[in-house]
């Protein structure tokens, strides 16, 4: 069975909706970009570190790690630290187009030649471009006070109240929610994880 190295209720819901059985095993690793680390490299590294952490603890079967970041003007926006940080992020995104990048890492064991078992690591990412309408200060304050932005990269959830401000997306909608389901499903098929 797949181990999901995440506490994200959105990732869990997406896997359930896709009919992919899993058990959630959240990890606790610092999510801080390295100096001059590109956004895609950061998302992929975080996904890999989460998967490796859960794989060490549960080395049977397959482990999926994922990390989503929002990028505007080359600035990586993770989860907001507090309400003021959430409002700052929403002001940055207001009236602009940004990218949402989710890194995914699938780890597991495969039988190779002579039935010898080897460990594999498959790290990929998905990028979706999102355009947000211009938000008033009242929109921002009301949304922040709702609590919805607290645990979301870029301080918004496209599947929630913020959906009313998203005028366009180019790419995988589920990637913006937190997991590029189609990409993950293909990875699992390629490695015999289904």
User: How far apart (Å, rounded) are the C-alpha atoms in residues 150 and 141?
Assistant: 13
Within 8 A by CB and 6+ apart from 113, the residues are none
Q: What are phi and psi of 73, to 5 degrees?
A: 50, 40
Catalytic annotation, pick one of 28, 36, 56, 67: 67
**DSSP result, 2-57:** EEE----HHHHHHHHHTT--EEE--------PPTT--HHHHHHHHHHHHHHHHHHH
- Report the SS3 class of residue 185: helix
122 in active site: no
Active site residues: 67
């Amino acid at each position: 069975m797949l181990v999901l190295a995440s506490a994200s209720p959105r990732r869990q819901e997406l896997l359930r909706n896709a009919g992919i059985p899993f058990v959630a095993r959240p990890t606790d690793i610092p999510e801080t970009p390295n100096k001059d680390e590109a956004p895609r490299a950061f998302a992929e590294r975080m996904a890999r570190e989460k998967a490796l952490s859960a794989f060490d603890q549960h080395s049977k079967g397959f482990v999926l790690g994922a990390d989503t970041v929002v990028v505007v003007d080359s600035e990586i926006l993770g989860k907001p630290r507090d309400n003021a940080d959430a409002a700052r992020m929403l002001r940055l995104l207001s009236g602009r187009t940004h990218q949402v990048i989710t890194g995914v890492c699938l780890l597991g064991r495969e039988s190779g030649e002579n039935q010898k078992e080897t460990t594999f690591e498959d790290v990929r990412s998905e990028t979706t471009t999102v355009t947000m309408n211009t938000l008033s200060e009242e929109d921002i304050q009301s949304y922040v006070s709702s609590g919805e932005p607290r645990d979301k990269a870029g301080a918004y959830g496209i599947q929630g109240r913020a959906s009313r401000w998203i005028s366009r997306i180019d790419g995988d909608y589920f990637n913006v929610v937190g997991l590029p389901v189609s990409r993950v499903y293909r990875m699992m098929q390629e490695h015999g994880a289904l």
